[in-house]
Amino acid sequence: MKFSNFLFPESRTPENDLTIIDDSLREAVLCDQLGFDAIWLAEHHFDGGCAYVDPVTFAAAIGATTNNIKIGFAVAQMALHHPTRFAEQIALIDNITKGRIIVGVGRGTAYNFYEFRGYGVNPSEAQARLLEFEEILVGAWTHDDYKYSGQFWEIDLPVLRPKVYQQPHPLIIRACSGLDSTLEMARQGRPFLMNIQSNEVTIDRINQYKNTMRESGFTEESIQYNLSQSWIWRNVYVADTDKEAEELGIPCFRSMRAYLSDNRSRLNTKEELLGQSTATTGAARDSVDHGLIYGSPQKVYEELYNLNKTGIGGIIIHFRLGPMSWEATEHSLRLFSEQVMPELNNN
């Protein structure tokens, strides 16, 4: 199983943005030095939930200051981008990093309707925009004189420059918030990104994904390869003792979830809140029991052991939770890399 850091840094006031952005760059460099496999970047706007806001710009900054670590999006919100511009930007970053970019894509947030409003996009169009976007990306990266005519985009592209470094193109992985979308990726023979679920749900979905690929005619080799390129998300805080991890990790986790929820209540309209799915707002990510792994290195190892046996390619770990300090985050990262990662790699 590969290990990665999800840079999803909260900044509650504009005055604090620069400090948090600087800390996040420092965190990326540290993860490169500690031997993490990847850094993942989020995309959220207008609320301070993700201080650097734009994962594409931030990926370029990380690419210029690191040497080995891969850089992925978890995820770039396709409804908020222009496909030709995005294809060019990714091609440039792919060259800057010599092929270290992973293109994680999604339809856009299921909660923050104000993000769509800020970009003048109807959220009901988000899924259809995602599907067009994926098709245009592959076409722009693999064909000269590329033309596309769809519901949202009319593209006439003589040639994309620079060409992507990875051939035929960087890996595109779609985020799957539910079982149906995960199984759709299985039928298409594509890897997936899975948001936070309980271990029981995670293991069940992985098993259903494998079975659906088999039923769709894919070989065992293809199934194992796809799983090796798929990732699941967890919040993790490691401290020297279980007690220390509980005393700091749980309050930071709860504060983070409350801040995100308050933003949605404050910035979404009443009509948008009424239309929001109750199933998504009660997700595992809000629960300490299912949404947070915390403890000493030994306890965290034990929590992750069963996930390591599923065949999943990697785990996307959110280390800096809400108002957690840089110092606490750095200590957690070092403990994880020095004491948890080796044990999981050996078992």
**For 74, what's the count of Cα atoms within 13 Å in the CB-facing half-sphere?**
28
Extended beta strands in the chain, E state = 2-7, 38-41, 70-73, 76-77, 101-106, 146-149, 154-157, 172-176, 192-194, 231-238, 293-295, 314-318
State the pLDDT confidence band at 276, using cuts at 50, 70 and 90: low
Q: Residue 238: pLDDT above 60? A: yes
* pLDDT over 80 (residue 282): no
Share above pLDDT 70 across residues of the chain, in percent, rounded to a whole number: 98
Q: What is the pLDDT of residue 283?
A: 72
Taking 70 as the threshold, does the pLDDT of residue 281 lie above it?
no
Exposure string (b/e) for 98-133, b if CB count within 10 Å is 16 or more? Answer: eebbbbbbbbbbbbbbbbbbeeebebebbeebbebb
Rounded Cα distance, 285 and 223, in Å: 27
Q: Which domains does the chain have, with CATH numbers?
A: 2-346 (3.20.20.30)
Amino acid identity of residue 321, one-letter, is L
How high is the mean pLDDT of the chain?
A: 96
Query: What does the pLDDT average to over 42-58?
Result: 97
Q: Is the peptide bond before 75 cis (omega within 30 degrees of 0)?
A: yes
| d(C-alpha 189, C-alpha 98), whole Å | 26
Pairing assessment for the beta strands 314-318 and 2-7 based on DSSP bridges: parallel
The pLDDT score that the predictor gives to residue 250 is: 98
Q: Measured between alpha carbons, how far apart are the two ends of the chain, in Å?
A: 10
Residue 16 has pLDDT above 70, yes or no: yes
Q: What is the CA radius of gyration of the chain?
A: 20
pLDDT over 90 percentage in the chain: 93
Q: What are the structure tokens assigned to 190, written together? A: 């594509």
Q: What tokens does 145 get?
A: 């004189």
Rounded to the nearest 10 degrees, what angle do helices 55-65 and 83-96 cross at?
10
pTM score above 0.85: yes
What is the Cα–Cα distance from 17 to 208, expressed in whole angstroms?
A: 42
Give residue 275's pLDDT.
73
pLDDT at 279 over 70: no
DSSP 232-247: EEEEEEE-SSHHHHHH
